[in-house]
């Protein structure tokens, strides 16, 4: 016959496990397991932001390939896409902190600067789209390192 102590442990361990799982979410745990100068970026957030950036790049490339001469509609579309890309890239920027994505840490600052410079050039009158055309190249330079 099992001892009283064994029965208590058998009941206590699952109860503590359930309490722990219900009371602590990963975000709360990370506050105590990572240093204050570290930003944990969820894999789903990275994936979502990268998909948004890919859609923006495809839209930008499509607009820039149009053989039409300069139009304010085209300029507005390019600037809006670049603004959306700036916002999306900002979601991935750990803001001077380290994150769990070293490749992003290493490249996000330069990528954000590229987008900002492209947007500024596109806002000029007349607009210059050369830098906007290089934004997708910035994506490729980072992603060619990945298998």
**For 30-114, where are the E strands, in sequence order?**
38-39, 98-99
**Residues 62-113: tens digit of each pLDDT:** 998 887 667 788 899 999 999 999 999 888 876 766 777 777 778 888 888 9
Give the residue from 139, 119, 138 showing the smallest Cα distance to 129: 119
Tokens encoding 134 = 């290089």
Give the residue from 101, 92, 86, 76 showing the smallest Cα distance to 56: 86
Give the residue from 105, 109, 107 showing the smallest Cα distance to 144: 107
**Percent of the chain having pLDDT more than 70?**
73
Residues 114, 134: Cα–Cα separation, whole Å: 8
Average confidence (pLDDT) over 16-39: 61
Give the residue from 37, 14, 39, 15 showing the smallest Cα distance to 27: 39
Provide the pLDDT for residue 84: 96
Provide the pLDDT for residue 24: 59
Residues 88, 57: Cα–Cα separation, whole Å: 12
Tokens encoding 7 = 């029965």
Evaluate if residue 138 carries a pLDDT over 90.
Answer: no
Tokens encoding 145 = 């390192």
Residues 25, 106: Cα–Cα separation, whole Å: 29
Rounded to two decimals, the pTM is 0.71
pLDDT-derived band at 29 (thresholds 50, 70, 90) equals low
CB 95 within 8 A of CB 108: no
Average confidence (pLDDT) over 20-37: 60
């Amino acid at each position: 016959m099992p001892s009283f102590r064994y029965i208590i442990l058998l009941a206590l361990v699952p109860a503590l496990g359930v309490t722990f799982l219900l009371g602590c979410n990963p975000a709360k745990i990370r506050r105590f397991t990572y240093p204050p100068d570290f930003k944990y970026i969820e894999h789903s957030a990275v994936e979502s932001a990268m998909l948004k950036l890919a859609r923006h790049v495809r839209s930008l490339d499509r607009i820039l390939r149009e053989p039409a001469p300069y139009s304010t509609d085209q300029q507005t579309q390019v600037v809006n896409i670049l603004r959306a890309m700036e916002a999306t890239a900002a979601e991935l920027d750990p803001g001077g902190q380290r994150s769990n994505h070293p490749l992003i840490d290493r490249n996000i600052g330069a990528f954000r600067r590229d987008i900002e410079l492209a947007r500024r050039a596109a806002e000029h009158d007349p607009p210059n789209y050369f830098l906007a055309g290089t934004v997708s190249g910035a994506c490729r330079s980072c992603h060619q390192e990945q298998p």
